[in-house]
Chains A and B, each alone.
Chain A
Amino acid sequence: EVQLVESGGGLVQPGGSLRLSCAASGFNFDDYAIHWVRQVPGRGLEWVSGISWNSGNRGYVDSVKGRFTISRDSAKKSLYLQMNSLRPEDTALYYCAKFSGNYASPERHFDSWGQGTLVTVSS
């Protein structure tokens, strides 16, 4: 069974930093692109960032470019999101989500999600 478990959320002041983690199990971690998707409580989903199976391709939504960095660790089967220069508008539940298709697949949709970790940016 695929499992994605996020951690690292919490309360941080504006301008501060936080590192989110997503521990993966139940699938061959090295074969799949994984993403961060956030949701402001009571609002919609927003794609934040994604990283390809081999870390060769990384993407970010414009609002976080230059502030957030996505990375992955094959040995630990974990995905990370380093968030710097945090702003109140970054307050959200951050989900880790896995692409359905592996590195050889043209599929581009999310078939598994974690339960999310809450980030609150406030003074």
Chain B
Amino acid sequence: QSALTQPASVSGSPGQSITISCTGTSSDVGNYNLVSWYQQHPGKAPKLMIYEVSTRPSGVSNRFSGSKSGNKASLTISGLQAEDEADYYCCSYAGSSISMVFGGGTKVTVL
């Protein structure tokens, strides 16, 4: 049950693309295509941005995309905008029907 590993911070200029990595193990990220990503602005509850590795919920901008290779998942934000400045968390199903594990979170700064 170790937390997934994310970089503490990533930054980019408006219009640029950034990628946030999320590294797990063969017991979570590597074993299931059930990685999700959440955006959290200060003082707010998390918001689902990507699920099942690369699926966007209705209403989420297509500037957000997800992928996975082996034990590593990634979230890419293209055409970075000021409103994208927030904390981002990856999350993976970890088995036993109910267990989940989060990453430590990545602070995205728009320069």
> Using a Cβ–Cβ cut-off of 8 Å, how many residues does chain B contribute to the interface with A?
28
Check B3 for interface membership: any CB of A closer than 8 A.
yes
> Using a Cβ–Cβ cut-off of 8 Å, how many residues does chain A contribute to the interface with B?
29
The residue in chain A whose Cβ has the minimal distance to the Cβ of B92 is A108
When distances are taken between beta carbons in the complex, the residues of chain B under 8 Å from A108 are: 32, 34, 36, 93, 100
* A interface list, Cβ under 8 A from B: 33, 35, 37, 43-47, 50-52, 57-59, 61-62, 95, 97, 100, 106-111, 113-116
Q: List 21 A-B contacts (CB under 8 A).
A: A43-B105, A44-B104, A45-B38, A45-B46, A45-B89, A47-B99, A47-B101, A47-B102, A50-B99, A52-B98, A57-B97, A57-B98, A58-B98, A95-B46, A100-B51, A108-B36, A109-B36, A109-B51, A109-B52, A110-B36, A110-B91
